[in-house]
Each structure stands twice: as C-alpha cells, then as structure tokens.
Amino acid sequence: MRLASLILFLVLAQPPLAGSALNAQEETLIFLVRHAERADDGPELSRMAIDPMMRGDPPLSEAGRKRAALLAEMLADVGLTHIHSTDYIRTRETAQPTVEATGVALALYDASDLEGFAQRLVGVPGRHLVVGHSNTTPNLASALGGDPGDPIEALEYDRLYLVILGEGGVRTVLLRFGGPFQGS
C-alpha cells in the first residue's frame, strides 16, 4: 500500500502539463476502479446455490471488503468531491468505506451510457471516484479521452486508473493497489 500511496503522491505533486497555467489542485482528477472481489469468486461460492439474490447481484467477499477499505485509506487525503457507483451491491459496497471516510455522498450512474456520463464528469470540476466493472471501467477511461490499457481480466481487482483532465490535455496513470487476487 505504501508504494501505491507514494506513486499517487508523486503524480498529484507533479508540476502541471507544459504550457498549462493550471496546477494539480485546479485539474479535474477522476479515479476509476472496478469493484472489489465478489463473494462468488471464492469460498463463498457455495452460498450462491442457496441464496438466489447472490446469483444476479453478489456482495463483496471478505477479501473484497478489505480491498474496499484499502481504497478508502489510499484516497482519504486526495480531497474527493464526488463518489459515483453503478447500482449493484458489489460496486456500492466497494465505494461505501470511501463514502464513510470522506463524508461525500454516493451518486449512482448508468453504465449503459458511458459517453453521456463521461461528458457529465468532464463538466463537473473536482476530484471524483468512479466505481464500475471490468467491462465499463476501461471504456469510461477511453470515453474521458484517457488510455484504457489492456482489458481487465476476470479476477483482476487491483487496477486503479487516475485520469487527469487539465488545460493541456488528458493524462492517464495506471496504479495497482493491494495484492493480486488470491481468492476470498
């Protein structure tokens, strides 16, 4: 966790883009993350057979709850002004520790209109956390003008995008936080 925090600090402390009059405080920062580990990714899979609610909208596993808490700890001091999530248990549970740590209200967004959501994000200055899914998070990075990187693998939960929107253009920084998926 310390390495990811150090990298995040270095990125945020960077001087503005060449020729830009903006500093890092005036740039719009958008942190994009896929939800943390799902309960159906590991030992809790057996609950799926007896709990029909989990089949369509599983909660986080214990490992996922720990990753969500780590995310909140990492972002505690970045000055978040907005927190967004899709309307699924796993995404809301991923965002919840950050909501509690910052006092910023959770706003739901529709992942079926990523272009429209990206336009709304660009139009609202500040520092945003957006919790999505393996198939929506890279696509949102792209819709914001950032680099989506490689597709997110099925059990990849440690990717954190930082999309920086400034007067000089869009920069994308890919960070990793926590360890790679080890099962629940």
Instruction: Quote the domain boundaries for residue 81.
Output: 2-13+22-176
Contact 135, 114 (CB under 8 A): no
Number of domains in the chain: 1
- How large is the average pLDDT for residues 164-181? 92
Query: What is the tens place of the pLDDT at every residue in 152-165?
Result: 999 999 999 999 99
Domain annotation covers residue 181: no
Q: What are phi and psi of 106, to 5 degrees?
A: -85, 130
Domain harbouring 101, CATH code: 3.40.50.1240
Residue with tokens 């596993």: 61
The H or E element spanning position 102 is: helix 89-102
Instruction: Choose the weakest-confidence range: 10-19, 20-29, 51-60, 73-82.
Output: 10-19
CA distance 53 to 58: 7
Give residue 29's pLDDT: 98
- How large is the average pLDDT for residues 62-90? 97
Q: What is the mean pLDDT of the chain?
A: 85
